[in-house]
Copies of this chain bind each other. A is one copy, B any other.
Amino acid sequence: MGGYAKKGILDRLAQGPVIGDGGFVFALEKRGYVKAGPWTPEVNIEHPQAVLQLHREFLRAGSDVMQAFTFYASDDKLENRGNEAQQKYSGAAINKAGCDLAKDVASEGDALVLGGICQTPSYLSGLGKDAVQNEFRKQISVFVENGVDFLLCEYFEHIEEMEWAIEVCKETSLPVAASMCIGPEGDLHNVSTGQCAVRMAKAGADIVGINCHFDPDTSLKGMALMKVALAEAGLKPYLMVQPLAFHTPDAGKQGFIDLPEFPFALEPRICTRWDMHKYARDAFNMGVRYIGGCCGFEPYHIRAVAEELAAERGKVPRGSEKHDPWGGGLMMHTKPWVRARAHRSYWESLKPSSGQPYSAALSQPDGWGVTAGNKLLEQQKEVTPGSGPTTIGDCNGSVSARNN
């Protein structure tokens, strides 16, 4: 990164909104590089070009931060329940590769590099603070060695494990962000959303908030509770939010994981770019300054956030060269009735139909009412037995050639 000093995350937040990036796990699953179920990021080593390309798309869409793709890259997760990733690559190698890719693309713009950790199977299995923090420390040390600009503890369902994570991050001198994957109902051990914010801030996080598990509206309801509780406690961290790009008004406390559509039939819930304009404006108006996305956020969703906040940021994203605001490009469409849609009021007021009349609007979430500490949630290296492997293509032969 050479001879000039990039402005750090806290300075940037002090100046105006900072835009995060979108959801690598889901985007790369659809592109063919991440397996749903284990959700681990060995693609950093296996197909680095695919990761580079996605980073570039988010940079072009307006992301100010390139988060290294290290989700679930703790050693205990890489070998959980039959995941073979660990047999091929160490967690350290995956984390390092992720940092390299993020740094490469960040240097193509003026973006910061972020290293993140998340909740561990060790916590869920009740292995205790030392074991859990050991997993975190292995990842953090790779981030520090590779010169990330700041750290993020994200996707924690239990405030206790989050505090352990922040504690490890604070062993470094880097700024620390912290976001839990909770909604307005609090963490899975019944700590309120507001108290979670207070405890993250007290543990030392400079930036606190919510990510994943809920849609923009629900996540912002959670942020409102955090804002009030922080004010009451006299704490002033920056606020961050990185919600899903799926509509989840029917989700229970545990979010979209429990919806019957998770993870392979969430399509009808995908937010439009116009939903993201509203989200960005609502978040900014609430005082949130780190505004990004999680699962389901594709580059065009982030571009919508950046376009909505163009005045506040004093710039439009590079990718807007291919996107006139509010559907303006449709002025070049051949059909006059499509050209008639090239207006803000049209897209803002449209309630999009699903084309799926045999589906209901809402689902009843699953959720078995268990959380960390419950035997059902203890994890293991072995693949879960019982249901043998389903054969592909409903064929009864032994199709195994992979020679496309």
Contact = CB atoms under 8 A, between A and B. Distances in A.
B274 A265 contact: yes
Interface string A31-60: 111111110000000000110010011011
Given A35-B322, A319-B32, A364-B358, A399 B311 contact: yes
Interface in A361-388: 361-364, 366-368, 370, 376-377, 379, 383-384, 387
A62 B401 CA distance: 13
Interface residues of A, number: 132
A351 B355 contact: no
B337 A258 contact: yes
Interface core residue of A247, A249, A264, A397 (most chain B CB under 10 Å): A264
A310 B384 CA distance: 26
A180 B336 CA distance: 21
A46 to B, nearest CB: 9
Nearest to A28: B322
A391 B333 contact: no
A37 B393 contact: no
A78 to B, nearest CB: 11
A93 interface: no
Given A36-B330, A246-B355, A332-B80, A309 B393 contact: yes
A137 interface: no
Contacts of A262: 338, 341
Given A81-B332, A311-B399, A334-B377, A247 B300 contact: no
Contact of A300 (B30, B56, B265): B30
Contacts of A249: 355, 357
A128 interface: no
A315 B260 contact: no
Given A311-B399, A324-B390, A368-B337, A361 B350 contact: no
Contacts of A258: 337
Contacts of A173: none
Contacts of A259: 353
A267 B271 CA distance: 7
A273 interface: yes
A80 B333 CA distance: 9
Contacts of A403: 315, 318
A329 B359 contact: no
A344 B273 contact: no
Q: How many subunits of this chain does the assembly comprise?
A: 4
B269 A322 contact: no
Given A37-B333, A390-B326, A306 B50 contact: no
Contact of A264 (B32, B327, B363, B395): B327
Contacts of A2: none
Given A249-B357, A265-B347, A390-B344, A318 B352 contact: no
Interface string A246-277: 11111000000111111111111111111000
Given A32-B57, A83-B332, 5 more contacts: A31-B300, A35-B332, A37-B331, A247-B354, A269-B356
Interface of A: 29-38, 49-50, 53, 56-57, 59-62, 80-83, 109-110, 121, 124, 215, 246-250, 257-274, 298-300, 303, 306-312, 314-339, 341-344, 347, 350-364, 366-368, 370, 376-377, 379, 383-384, 387, 389-395, 397, 399-404
14 contacts: A32-B300, A32-B322, A35-B329, A259-B353, A260-B352, A262-B341, A265-B272, A268-B269, A269-B355, A316-B400, A338-B366, A351-B358, A353-B359, A355-B363
